[in-house]
């Protein structure tokens, strides 16, 4: 009996220590920012980063939450005689600390990249077996975010323990620097990262690299032909469509939590390979699933339509919801018209929000417009099956989160005329656009700010359903708000409504 008690105490002490290690106080909501890789690859420079940082400010993106400017691969130039990684001075002539300082001067945060291999994916200098020295360099550069890739691992992969060990070594090295650095694993969902990523990191990739396609299958994104959701996949590859990634994460979509998020890869919004409707669906699902939202487009060539998607505060409020619970898929139907690749399906995703609200998304990935129906029994199945959840027995008010999307004329004015934060503030205030720097999303929701709650479009009676026409390759995104509280008191949706 005494041995059993002692063993329980030891296990409890280990659990407490583990929780402390995980909770570094960072990424309590999913990180928002920009990363160069999807649009620019190795075409990087100090000028690019500083120009992008300025545009995050002048386009008003910083003031809806996009704080991280993240430099991806292709910045290193080997190692010096002391084994310290060198910065490519042709691309960054004043060094990386100078770039970091100037980004911080904007009020933004700075991120960099390395790989848990002897080379990076673009065959630059990797950090494997140099973790302590490289972590110290990153701290000296004053970075705030590290994306840590998975290329050229010298065969130290193929099991959860081997891959965990590589990534844990860098986690420990970063922690020892004493600098708060968001740690983002990019091991593509290999080796069951969904079961251990949260132990050491603030986010972890769950699939091969995304590409600018809504649903087209590609052989380079392996493990998709038989079972795209299989965790046994050992070569996730690249060129994964939005739909493939959604199917990959669906069985374990609920693993994210404050401080540790499942990363569906950077956003493709604005790159040009998808329609406006497809980009809205992509952005909305990434937000609802609580993926980090890193803009992948070149902000110097961004279109008004793309900007009006990326800065939607009603959807960003879903991403930044303090409850931190990812949406999960509650229905999938593959018995729908297919495209020429044999692809076609519909989804319904749902998840709880702070204050008793619920996000509800209809995704139509079929090859035609469809009438879709969501039953409260399914919407709240996470709280209890067969309408046993109390939420199933309430009436709900339905708010469209794209009902007040920024007018393209306002977005165009920002892109063409705004050169500073002051310019952006003037244009955005005139358009009554939300500013999360002035009023954080949590406080805005508590104040029932209509710009975060969406446009009222319908109601659902207790134990009822919502039926809606959804266009081909698009999504309908709603915030459900209880019409009556548990006590029967009428819910105050807006100060001047109901």
Strand, helix or coil for residue 217 = coil
- Closest by CA to 310, choosing from 436, 233, 456, 411, is 411
The secondary element (H helix, E strand) that includes residue 468 is strand 465-470
- As given in the structure block, the two tokens for residue 318 are 């879903």
Per the CB < 8 A criterion, the answer to whether 268 and 274 are in contact is yes
DSSP 416: H
Q: Which of the following is catalytic: 72, 73, 144, 149?
A: 149
The secondary element (H helix, E strand) that includes residue 22 is helix 2-22
Give the C-alpha separation, 497 to 80, whole Å: 66
- Closest by CA to 127, choosing from 180, 188, 85, is 85
The secondary element (H helix, E strand) that includes residue 97 is helix 96-105
DSSP 428: H
In the annotation, is 149 catalytic?
yes
Question: Where on the phi/psi map is residue 234: left (φ > 0), alpha (ψ -120 to 50), or beta?
Answer: alpha
- Closest by CA to 236, choosing from 262, 216, 195, 206, is 206
Residue with tokens 């009676």: 461
Give the C-alpha separation, 231 to 408, whole Å: 41
Residue ranges of E strands in 131-179 = 145-149
The secondary element (H helix, E strand) that includes residue 358 is strand 358-364
User: DSSP per residue over 254-298, as a string?
Assistant: GG-BTTBEEE---B-TTSSSS-HHHHHHHHHHHHHTT--EEE-S-
Backbone angles phi, psi at 346, to 5 degrees: -125, 150
Q: Which of the following is catalytic: 134, 144, 209, 378?
A: 209
Q: How many residues does the chain have?
A: 498
In the annotation, is 209 catalytic?
yes
Active-site annotation, residues: 149, 209
């Amino acid at each position: 009996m005494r041995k059993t008690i002692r063993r329980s105490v030891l296990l409890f002490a280990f659990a407490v220590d583990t929780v402390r290690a995980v909770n570094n106080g960072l990424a309590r909501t999913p990180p928002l920012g920009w990363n160069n890789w999807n649009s620019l690859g190795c075409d990087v420079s100090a000028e690019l980063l500083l120009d992008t940082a300025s545009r995050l400010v002048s386009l008003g993106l910083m003031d809806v939450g996009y704080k991280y400017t993240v430099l991806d691969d292709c910045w290193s130039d080997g190692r010096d005689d002391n084994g310290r990684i060198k910065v490519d001075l042709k691309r960054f002539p004043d060094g990386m600390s100078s770039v970091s300082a100037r980004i911080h001067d904007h009020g933004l945060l700075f991120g960099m990249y390395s790989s848990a291999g002897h080379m990076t994916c673009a065959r630059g200098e990797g950090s494997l077996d140099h973790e302590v020295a490289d972590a110290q360099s990153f701290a000296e550069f004053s970075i705030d975010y590290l994306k840590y890739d998975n290329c050229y691992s010298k065969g130290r992969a193929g099991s959860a323990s081997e891959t965990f060990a590589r990534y844990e070594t860098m986690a420990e090295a970063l922690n020892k620097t004493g600098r708060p650095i968001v740690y983002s694993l990019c091991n593509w969902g290999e080796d069951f990262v969904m079961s251990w990523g949260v132990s050491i990191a603030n986010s972890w990739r769950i699939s091969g690299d995304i590409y600018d396609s809504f649903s087209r299958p590609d052989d380079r994104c392996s493990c998709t032909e038989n079972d795209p959701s299989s965790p046994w996949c050992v070569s996730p590859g690249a060129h994964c469509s939005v739909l493939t990634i959604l199917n990959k994460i669906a069985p374990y979509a609920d693993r994210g939590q404050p401080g540790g998020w499942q990363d569906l890869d950077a956003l493709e919004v604005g790159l040009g390979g998808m329609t406006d409707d497809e980009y809205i669906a992509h952005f909305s699902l990434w937000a609802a699933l609580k993926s980090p939202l890193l803009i992948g487009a070149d902000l110097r060539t961004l279109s008004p339509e793309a900007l009006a998607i990326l800065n939607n505060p009603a959807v960003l409020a879903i991403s930044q919801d303090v409850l931190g619970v990812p949406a999960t898929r509650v229905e999938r139907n593959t018995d729908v018209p297919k495209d020429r690749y044999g692809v076609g399906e519909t989804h319904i995703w749902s998840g709880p929000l702070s204050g008793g609200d619920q996000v509800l998304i209809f995704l139509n990935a079929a090859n035609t417009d469809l009438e879709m129906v969501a039953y409260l029994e399914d919407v709240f199945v996470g709280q209890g099956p067969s309408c046993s959840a109390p939420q199933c027995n309430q009436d709900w008010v339905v708010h469209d989160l794209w009902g007040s999307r920024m007018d393209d004329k306002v977005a165009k004015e920002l892109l063409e005329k705004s050169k500073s934060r002051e310019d952006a503030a003037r244009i955005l205030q005139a358009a009554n656009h939300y500013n999360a720097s002035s009023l954080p999303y949590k406080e805005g929701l508590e104040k029932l700010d209509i710009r975060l709650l969406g446009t009222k479009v319908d109601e659902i009676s207790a134990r009822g359903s919502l039926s809606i026409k959804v266009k081909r390759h698009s999504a309908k995104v709603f915030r459900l708000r209880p019409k009556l509280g548990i006590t029967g008191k009428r819910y105050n949706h807006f100060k001047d409504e109901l």
